[in-house]
Structure formats: structure tokens, C-alpha cells
Structure 1
Amino acid sequence: MCKYDVAALGELLIDFAKKEVNVTGDLMFAANPGGAPCNVLAMLQKLGRKTAFIGKVGNDFLGEFLAKTVEDQGIDISGLSRDNKVPTTLAFVNNTPDGDRSFSFYRNPGADMMLSKDDVDLSIIGNATIFHFGTLSMTDDSVEQATKLAVDYAKKNGKIISFDPNLREPLWDDLERAKEKMEYGMSVCDILKISDNEIEFVTGQSDIETGIKIIKERYSPKLICATMGKDGSIALYGDIEVKEDGFVQENTVDTTGAGDTFMACVLNYVCENGLDNLTKNQLTQMLVFANAAASIITTRVGALKSMPERTEIESLISGRNAKNTYEVQINLGTIDKVKRFVAAIAPLSADFAIKNDKYVVDAKSIMGVFSMDLSRPLKLQIDTEGDRMDDILKEIEEFMIQ
């Protein structure tokens, strides 16, 4: 039996998240521990897994802060090195009102880039069931060599290899090189977690399902999980494809770490169930749990120290399952009908979603409704608690296709 369930290699840095503006108009930031690999490990620790990290920080007060924070999460940091010349890497995160973000990195160089082959303790990987990495540990030659040494060792020793590209375009001088490193990762991994924008970047396909099928054909990961933000996720495993809706949070404040939280939940499921002979039902359970966990983290600032407890995730899932769900076909072929429909459902205490093969939109959003093809019948999903469904259907009866 391995000492660690998951070992990860990569960046560890300070995310400075914009907090407020002071009385003189100056921006104020909170220093949050960050870096995708450690975010993944922190969530795994919450789920009861044993984890270890391999990386590098500066021999400075920020590096010590990161080391202590990571260790406090229960993550083994015996593989964390210090650099005496290069300071700890910094990232400034600007969150928009909808919770999305943009980044400014101070990493030219940063300590995480200075990880070398000599810094990598291969025994940590040898004592792990899963080895996880991303592309940010391949932006420069030294750290790329260290990463590939670790991957080669994991491969030769029969470890499950997990990869999340985690594309950050500002960190690449040449995006073709970024694409090349993504392709390398996809060619060596058993588990791939990739976002919708990364799929389009690497395949040129805006249709997510088409894109992941191209990736499967080219690179053959055993399990591919595609994340689509609030629209949920897709799993492709052999000939089985499963798609699950996201858990939309009204109080989203920060999407940093949502993908990492999702990734951790996928790895936890593999730790529990293995990677062989997974069924459609198992993949559905995996995605629902991962989607729920990822949605909770978006309601909190930062990620590494804010990961949800298992009980919180299960409670959110139970709440959704307790709802009464009903689907009907509706016709909204004119501008006037759209306006009357949105006005009719706006005051109702239920969730309304219009769906087609590619998209899901909030039916209470008039702009969202107008983005759909109104020349065709639309599928409306209604989620409500209790036994109010008959009353709701009466309110929208004129729009329903009998």
C-alpha cells in the first residue's frame, strides 16, 4: 500500500485577490496561498486522502507563509525546496462582478520556475498511487526537465498519471509552445481534466463534445473530464459519455480554484473506485459530487484554505435531489411571447432553465432566452420544492406545446 494517495508537482504562489478600495482610492489586496496543484491536494485532504507536494518557493517570508499554510492543510511538504536567489512567485487576481477573473503574474523569474531535476524527490512519487501535474511547471527549461523526469518515473513505475493543463496565457511567450506542452501532458496522462476554453485552444473546436472526442482519438487518456463552468461537466470514458449540469450559485464571488476542486473530487473518486470498469452510474455520481464541490468554492475568496467539507457537498446534492423536476416543451417564437414568458416566471420561486444539445440558459434572463433558437420548440426544465408544480404549469400554460 502506498504512503500517499496523490502526489503533485508544480507551482505554489501567492494570489493577491483584490479586496476593496481604501478611503484614498488605493487598491487593497488579500494575500491568499495559491497554485493549482496544492489546491487539488488541499481538497483531497478534506476528503480524507494522504497527499504530498513537490515544488519550490523563495527563501523569504512569503515562501515560509506558503510552506506553513500547505503543511497546516495536512499536505506533506518534504518535497518543497527553497530558492535563495529568486523570490516567491506572485499573482494578482482581479475578480469581475460575475466572479470571473483576470491575472497579472510577477514571475520573471519566480521561485516555482527554478525547480530542477535535482530538487525532485522521486521516492515521493514512488510512494504515491496517483501523480498529478499541469503545464505551468513546463513554462521554462529547468522546471520542464524536472516535470518530465517526474512523469517518466511515474510512468515507469505504473502510477496513475493525472493532468490538468491549467492554461494561463500571460505566462507563455509563445502560445504554440503552450499548446505543445498541453499535447505532451495529454499524451502521457491516464486522467485528463480540461476546461471548455482549453479544449477550443488545443483542438480548434468550440463544440465541447466534438473537442473531447478529438482529444480521446489523438491522445487516448482513459478518463477525460471537461468542465464548462456553471453549465456543468462531461466525462468521456471508453464509449461512455456522461453530462451533468452544474450547481449554479447566486452568491458567486471568486471562481479561483473551482477547476482544482473539481479535479480533486475526480481523483478522490478514482482512489475509491479505481480506473477500470467504471459504469455510467459511477461516472454520474463522480460528476455530480465534483460539480457540487466546485460550485461551493466559488462562494468563497481564495481556494487552498477554503475547500468545502464533504458534509457541505453532500448537503448541496441532497438539496437538489429534494427538488421536484419537470420538463416541458415550449414555443417562444415572437419577441412579445418571450417578454410575456419571462414576465410570467420572474416572480415564481422555482428555477427555470432552457436547454438544447449544447447550451443551458437561465429562462428568467431575457437576454439568455433571446440567445436560443426561437424558431424551434424549446425544452424547459423546472425545478421547485414541494408540490407546487401544478400551479407553476398553469402560469406558463399558454407557452406550452401540448
Structure 2
Amino acid sequence: MTEQKKTVDIAALGEILIDFTFGGNNRHGAALFAQNPGGAPGNVCIQAARLGAKTAFAGKVGEDLHGRLLRSVLDDEGVSTHNLISDPDAFTTLAFVQVREDGEREFSFARKPGADTRLCFEELDIEEIRSAKIFHIGSLSLTDDPIRTTTYKAVEIAKEAGALISYDPNYRTSLWPDETTAIQAMRSLIPSADLMKISDEETKLLTDLEDPRQAAAALVDQGVSLVFVTLGKDGALCCSKKGIVQAAGFPGKLADTNGAGDSFWGGVLDQIARANKALEEFELDELERIVRNANACAALTVRRPGAIPALPAADEVNSFLAEQGLDKAF
């Protein structure tokens, strides 16, 4: 493994897209959808950047109004777009998001194909990826080629350069031909992962175990150093070889769960990057604080509609923690 000087805290590769989120009906009864920038890896980069991390995003958008918007959003947030490729022959990926009364989401994607799936490894400047402390990817990049091959190659390059590999399976049923194919693909990245985030709804898909604690422990047994499982209103847990810790969620008004998991993960990765130490050196009390602080990020995100627009800044999270009688985190 060739170590390289790390000038980027977190680099992510994958989808950035437009979430068209349901916003009610007009006077004729037609559904109204609000144009919100989103996409899990992009969300993670922006959340970490708002907390103070130096981040970079690699992906592809169309040369269209949506692609221009997404690039401007990343630029405005200070996220490097050096590896954001604009493609004149592909349309920016769109996701129509229906938020139910309980705050949960239903997705319909315009991605056949979307620009994010057309990213080729040869289009990337790999030096930015090699310069990252943490390299983050998700499973939506495994649904189609050439982005699938690009993802595997980029993970290999990042790992050779000494980056920690962060992985969020982020299962979206409609983007896979069937569940068996999805499971096989999602599990293929586990051997490369140092850090993983899964939801309590994804435990069985990744491990055949439904219980979050058992599933997290199984992933650690497979070689993942730190596994985080989000538990909805019950907060989240973290498992390492030293044991399992859990931090409760923060109750509050729920407007939209879109982006909550990405906000949580951006909070985790920012704290891991700033700690600047080996993952096996984290003690359980440190991991509990990391989970608690990331829960605060997610709690603030769900109080506002949209994904990226709802992600909190560091001072907002610190003020929220202070209101709870807790120490600041960022």
C-alpha cells in the first residue's frame, strides 16, 4: 500500500440528482413537486462540509438545467467539483419522492439511464481520490455499468493510497432487477469497507440477520472496523471489536426523513476524519459520543423538508446540543 499525503478529509463517488419532493396539490388537484438537490453521496459531502470538513465529490450530471444547479450547489458549499463531469449525451438523474403522512418516503426514479450511471473511470482525476482520508461510496453505483466498474476501480485506488473506505448500501428497491441481484451486489463491497452505515431495514439484506446488534457484529466479524446501524426514532448504534454502544435519538417534529441518514453519516465521517487516528483506537465512550452527535445532525435534518436544504451547519448542531445540556461537537 502506497501512503499519500492527505489533503481532502472526505471524497465521495456516486449519484447526485434532483429530488422532486411532493409539495401538495394545486387548486385543480394536480400534484406539485419541489426541485431539491440530493443524492446520498452528495448529501454526505455537503453535510460534512457544513460541519467543517474539506470534501470532494466525483460523479456525473447532464449538461442541462438540473446539472448546472447541482454543480452550483456543490460549489456554493465549498465541495470540490473537480471530478464532477458534465455529459452532453445524458440527462441528469431525477428522483420523485412522495413523503407519506408518517414522514417515510416512496421513490420513483428517472434513471434509464441517468447521467450518474455513465461515469467512466478514465474520466476521473484519481489524484483527488488518492488524497482523501476517507473515500465514501454507496450501492446505487453498483446497479449499472460503467459506474459499477468505476466504483470498484476507485475503491481499489483509494485503498492502495491508504484511505479508509466508507460504505452505505442505501437500498432502493426500484433500481434493481430483483432482490437477489441487489443482495449480491451490495454484499460485494463489504470486504473492502472499513466503515459501514446501514439502516435497521437493511440488516437482513446485508447479513441474513434481522436484529441490528447481531447484524452489526456479523459485519465486524467479516472485517469491517466500525459498523453503524440507524434505528429511526430510536437513534443509532455502533459496533466495533470492543463492543456495541447505542445513543438515543432526539424527539421533535418530523417534517421529512429525506436526507436524515446522509446527515447522520456526514456527521460520523467528519468526526472520524478530525480525530485523525486508527479506527481500532476508538474507545466505546468515544464512539457513543460520535453516534450521539450524528443523531443530532439527523434530528435537525428531519425537521425541515428536502435533503440538502435541510442539512444543518456546525453552529446549529452545537446550539442544539447545548439546549440538551450536552457538549458541543463540531
Cα distance in 2 for residues equivalent to 1:82 and 1:176 = 33
Check the 8 A contact 1:193/1:225 in 2, yes or no.
Answer: yes
Residue 155 of structure 1 and its aligned partner are, at CA, apart by 1.3
Letter in 2 for 1:321: G
Check the 8 A contact 2:230/2:237 in 1, yes or no.
Answer: yes
Residue 190 of structure 1 and its aligned partner are, at CA, apart by 0.5
Residue 12 of structure 1 and its aligned partner are, at CA, apart by 0.8
**Map of 1:240-259 to 2, 5 A cutoff?**
240-249=243-252, 251-259=253-261
Cα distance in 2 for residues equivalent to 1:157 and 1:15 = 34
Aligned to 2:157: 153
Cα distance in 2 for residues equivalent to 1:19 and 1:6 = 33
Check the 8 A contact 2:52/2:314 in 1, yes or no.
Answer: no
Aligned to 1:207: 211
Aligned to 2:226: 223
Aligned to 2:109: 105
Please state if 1:167 is matched with 2:171. Answer: yes
Check the 8 A contact 2:217/2:240 in 1, yes or no.
Answer: no
Aligned to 1:272: 274
SS at match of 1:192: strand
Check the 8 A contact 2:242/2:283 in 1, yes or no.
Answer: no
Aligned to 1:42: 46
Gaps of 5+ in 1: 323-402
Check the 8 A contact 1:130/1:161 in 2, yes or no.
Answer: yes
Q: Which moved more, 1:197-206 or 1:148-157?
A: 197-206
Larger-Rg structure: 1
What percentage of residue pairs aligned between the two structures are identical? Answer: 39
Check the 8 A contact 2:118/2:145 in 1, yes or no.
Answer: no
In the TM superposition, what whole-angstrom CA distance separates every residue of 1:26-67 from its partner, at most 9, and x where no partner exists?
Answer: 111110001000100101111111111100001111111111
Cα distance in 1 for residues equivalent to 2:181 and 2:192 = 17
What is the TM-score of this pair, normalised by structure 2?
0.94
Letter in 2 for 1:264: G
Aligned to 2:265: 263
Query: What is the aligned counterpart of 1:52 among 51, 56, 66?
Result: 56
SS at match of 2:281: coil
Cα distance in 1 for residues equivalent to 2:127 and 2:18 = 27
Letter in 1 for 2:193: C
SS at match of 1:99: coil
Check the 8 A contact 2:203/2:209 in 1, yes or no.
Answer: yes
Letter in 2 for 1:239: K
Letter in 2 for 1:135: S
SS at match of 1:133: strand
Residue 230 of structure 1 and its aligned partner are, at CA, apart by 0.7
Gaps of 5+ in 2: none
Letter in 2 for 1:229: G
Please state if 1:123 is matched with 2:127. Answer: yes
Query: What is the aligned counterpart of 1:68 among 56, 69, 72?
Result: 72
Cα distance in 1 for residues equivalent to 2:34 and 2:191 = 38
Cα distance in 2 for residues equivalent to 1:151 and 1:277 = 23
Residue 306 of structure 1 and its aligned partner are, at CA, apart by 2.5
SS at match of 1:141: coil
Count matched residues. 320
Q: Which has the higher contact order (CA 8 A, sep 6+)?
A: 2
SS at match of 2:60: strand
CA RMSD after TM alignment: 1.3
Aligned to 2:201: 197
Aligned to 1:92: 96
Cα distance in 2 for residues equivalent to 1:99 and 1:121 = 39
SS at match of 1:112: helix
Query: What is the aligned counterpart of 1:234 among 206, 230, 237?
Result: 237
- After TM superposition, the runs of 4+ consecutive aligned structure 1 residues lying more than 4 A away are none
SS at match of 2:190: helix
Aligned to 1:24: 28
What is the TM-score of this pair, normalised by structure 1?
0.77
Letter in 2 for 1:256: N
